[in-house]
Structure 1
Amino acid sequence: NLTVTENLILACFARKDTDQINKDRKWVFDLFPRLEERKDQLAGTLSGGEQQMLSVGRGYMSGRKIMLLDEPSMGLAPLLMMEMFDALKEINKLGTTILLVEQNARLALKFAQRGYVIENGYLVLKGQSDELLNNPDVKKAYLGA
C-alpha cells in the first residue's frame, strides 16, 4: 500500500544522515529511471521487473554494507535482466558486497568475482568466477556446454 518513494524512505528508518539519504534516493532514481517515473505509484501495482528494481533500491537505501540477493533475475525479460545486473555492478563498485544466489550460472559467474557451486546442500566447487566459467565440469553440468 506504499508508493515507490515511501518504500525507499521506509528503508532508511535506522539512518540519521538526512543529506546522504536524499543523495542516495537521487542515485537510486538515476540508476533506475523507471522508478522515478513511477515514484508516486503504489509499489504493488508495479510490474515484476519494476518491483525487483524497487527491492534493490530499498536495499541500497538501507545504508547497507552487504546485500544478499536471491534470484534477482527470476521472471525478468533478458534486457531487464541485463539492466539489473548492470545496476548491481554499480552498487558493488560503490563498496557494497553482494552475495548472490542465482540459478542462471553463466550470468552470475560473469557478474561475480568468486563463485560457489552448491549441489544438494553441499559445496562441490569454489573459486574465481573466470576459473569456474572455464572449468569443463562446470560447463557440462551448469552452463549447457
Structure 2
Amino acid sequence: MGHNILKYNTDKVVSRLGISHVPEGRMIFGNLSVTENLTLAAFARKDTEAVVKDRKWVFDLFPRLEERKNQLADTLSGGEQQMLAVGRAYISGRKIMLLDEPSMGLAPLLMLDMFESLKEINRTGTTILLVEQNARLALKFAKRGYVLENGKLVLEGRAEDLLDDPAVKKAYLGA
C-alpha cells in the first residue's frame, strides 16, 4: 500500500494501515465476553456505525459467536475461540489479515468451515496472508502459495499450480 511498515509503531500498524493479526494459539482475552473481545478489538476505530455493522457481519459469518456473545471467551470451545480470534481481527482493521496456523487444534470439519469463512472475508476485499502447516488445505483455498524452507523462499506460484506440481506433492503434500 505504499507504506514502509517499519516506520510505524506497532499500535499504528493496526489503526493506520489496517493490518490485523490472528496469532497462533488465538490469544483471546479469556476473562472477557465474546462481545467485550470484539469491542476491545475496535478500540482504535472512530467509525462507530461501521464497527456496529462489522460486528453484525462477524455474527452473521460465525453464528455460534452471536449465540455465545455474553459468554466468557475462555469457556468457548477451541473452534469458537478461533472464530473469535478471526472476528476480532476482522473488526480491528482489515485491509490485510495475517493468520498464523488458523487450523491448529481444529477438527477436520471445523478446519473446512474456518477456511470457507476466510474465503468469505477475502471476498469482502481483505487481503489474507496465511501461514499454515496443512499445505494441501491452504493451497485449496489460496490464490498464491509460497514455500519456505529454513526461512528461505524456495518456491512460489499460483496455488493450483503448486498443488499439481509433482515435486511439491512429494516434498510437502505427502503424495
The count of corresponding residues between Structure 1 and Structure 2 is 145
Per-residue CA deviations over 1:93-143 (Å, capped at 9, x if unaligned) read 001100000000111111111100001111111111111011110001111
Q: Could you tell me how far apart the structure 1 residues matched to 2:68 and 2:113 are?
A: 17
Q: 2:154 aligns with which of 119, 124, 134?
A: 124
Q: Could you tell me how far apart the structure 1 residues matched to 2:152 and 2:158 are?
A: 18
Q: Structure 1 runs of 4+ off > 4 angstroms?
A: none
Q: How far did residue 82 of structure 1 move? A: 0.7
**Residue of structure 2 equivalent to 1:142:** 172
* RMSD of equivalent CA atoms: 0.7
Matched AA of 1:82:
L
Q: Could you tell me how far apart the structure 1 residues matched to 2:80 and 2:62 are?
A: 9
- Report % sequence identity: 80
Q: Could you tell me how far apart the structure 1 residues matched to 2:111 and 2:140 are?
A: 13
Matched AA of 1:36:
E
Q: Could you tell me how far apart the structure 1 residues matched to 2:92 and 2:100 are?
A: 17
TM-score normalised by length of structure 2: 0.81
The answer as to 2:129 corresponding to 1:111 is no
Q: Which runs of 5+ in 2 are unaligned?
A: 1-30
Greater relative contact order (Cα 8 A, min sep 6): structure 1 or 2?
2
Q: Which runs of 5+ in 1 are unaligned?
A: none
Taking the TM superposition and a 5 Å limit, the aligned residue runs for 1:1-145 are 1-145=31-175
TM-score normalised by length of structure 1: 0.98
Q: Could you tell me how far apart the structure 2 residues matched to 1:46 and 1:35 are?
A: 9
Per-residue CA deviations over 1:51-72 (Å, capped at 9, x if unaligned) read 1000000000012210110000
